[in-house]
Amino acid sequence: MTLGASAQAADIKIGMAEALTGGAAQYGISIRHGFELAAGEINAAGGVDGNQLKLIVDDDQGKKEEAINVFKKLIFQDKVLMVFGPTLSNSAQAADPIAQGAKTVAFGTSNTADGITSIGDYVFRNSVTEADVLPETLRVAVKHAHIKKVAVMYGNDDVFTKSGYDNFKKALEAAHIPVTTTETFAKGDVDFKAQLTKIKATHPDAIVLSALLAEGAPIMVQARQLGINVPFIGGNGMNSVKVFTLAKGASDDLYVGSPWSASNDSAENVAFIKAFEAKFNTPPDQFAAQSYDAMHIMVQALKTIKLNGDLATERTALRDALPKVKWTGATGAFQFHRAMNKAGKPAGYDAQQTAIVSVTKGEQFVI
């Protein structure tokens, strides 16, 4: 970014729409912390060409209607340069078209369902999709735990949990692994004993689970109560340290995949973990790592554009600059790749990264 001779340093307004209350706040608060850590570091080092990043933080409550409201407020009232979020794919599918219509970048750091970036060319994410991660999670779990047949359980009223199910199904078919039974649940359910009792009767070697934590953690607890002690194979929703707080000892033997791992000892990751713990007094998770990297990726693009005071031009310049960014951060080497829409035409941008699979043991993720 280059400022004219007479230009004054100004705040650069960045919107953040995340689930800060409700069931998905398990993720949203962690995501917020990642953004705040990165923005704080960037501002402390002089900002972007002397301009400070100003985060405008709004709560989408993990609800798609609220995500739409918050996107409208950030884009049209607050006039932010771009928007990070929302937390859930379910919300992104509803709210991202607002950003696309307003030619404003919507950058998701935790949306992993199919089809989000097919919304349009202003839609970006650095979260690796279920389609990319689940076949690898399944492959490692099957090999490690000698799995021959599985039961499947998924939430059938959420864009992410349904997409996870679709991708698990595809991966299971490709790997020729029979499914003993498929059970469903909905957001807000608390008693999963009926489905788990059916699953138990089919004697699976593992349970494939596409769930958000609010339902996924009690599912693990109730399975163990019913004497089902087989491994769980989960998607992005289960990949959070919050599963240990929510499911305690019942959280063991859960396989998940993500580019980020607490035990990756690259210089970038070690520095991230240290700074995060110093600031928030708690260890980070992959959601914090993703948002931390996303802020740095966005700033790399920002450094290459001119802020001329014309918001529409600035928003489009940022969009044009983002795909060129390459960045090595807490989650490793990152770049974007072009996503296609349903008609096979170029649309938004997905993450080009590979997943590391871990399994939970003694309330820790181990590789």
Residues that bind ligand 1QQ (CB under 6 A): 24, 27, 87-89, 110-113, 160, 212, 236-237
152: CB partners within 8 A, 6+ apart: 165, 168, 169, 172, 179, 181, 182, 183, 207, 208, 209, 210
What is the rounded radius of gyration, in angstroms, for the C-alpha atoms of the chain? Answer: 20
In the complex with ligand 1QQ, the residue whose CB is nearer, 61 or 110, is 110
**What is the H or E stretch that residue 338 is in?**
strand 332-340
Cβ contact 179:152 at 8 Å: yes
Q: Least distance in Å: CB of 236 to ligand 1QQ?
A: 4
Give CA angle at 220 (87, 256), nearest 5°.
55
Q: Least distance in Å: CB of 47 to ligand 1QQ?
A: 29
Q: Report the Cα 280 to chain-centroid distance in Å.
A: 20
In the complex with ligand 1QQ, the residue whose CB is nearer, 89 or 100, is 89
In the complex with ligand 1QQ, the residue whose CB is nearer, 204 or 234, is 234
- Looking up tokens 């959070």 gives 240
In the complex with ligand 1QQ, the residue whose CB is nearer, 100 or 111, is 111
Residue type, position 273, single letter: I
Helices (H), 175-256: 193-201, 213-225, 242-247
In the complex with ligand 1QQ, the residue whose CB is nearer, 85 or 332, is 85
Cβ contact 89:117 at 8 Å: no
DSSP structure string for 245-263: HHHGGGG-SEEEEES--TT
Q: Least distance in Å: CB of 48 to ligand 1QQ?
A: 28
For residues 326, 28, 260, 134, the Cα torsion angle rounded to the nearest 10 degrees is -100
How far apart are the C-alpha atoms of 32 and 35, rounded to whole Å?
Answer: 5
Q: Least distance in Å: CB of 9 to ligand 1QQ?
A: 35
Collapse the DSSP code of 159 into the 3-class scheme (helix H, G, I; strand E, B; otherwise coil) and give the result.
helix
In the complex with ligand 1QQ, the residue whose CB is nearer, 60 or 314, is 60
- What percent of the residues of the chain are helix, what percent strand, and what percent coil, each to the nearest 5? 45, 20, 35
Record the tokens describing residue 214, joined without a space: 């609010």
Report DSSP state, residue 75: I
Q: Least distance in Å: CB of 167 to ligand 1QQ?
A: 12
> Where do the DSSP E strands lie in 26-119?
53-59, 82-84, 106-108
Q: Least distance in Å: CB of 31 to ligand 1QQ?
A: 8
Record the tokens describing residue 217, joined without a space: 């953690």
Q: Least distance in Å: CB of 69 to ligand 1QQ?
A: 18
For residues 47, 52, 53, 54, the Cα torsion angle rounded to the nearest 10 degrees is 160
In the complex with ligand 1QQ, the residue whose CB is nearer, 111 or 182, is 111
Q: Least distance in Å: CB of 87 to ligand 1QQ?
A: 5
Q: Least distance in Å: CB of 112 to ligand 1QQ?
A: 4
Q: Least distance in Å: CB of 358 to ligand 1QQ?
A: 16
In the complex with ligand 1QQ, the residue whose CB is nearer, 110 or 264, is 110
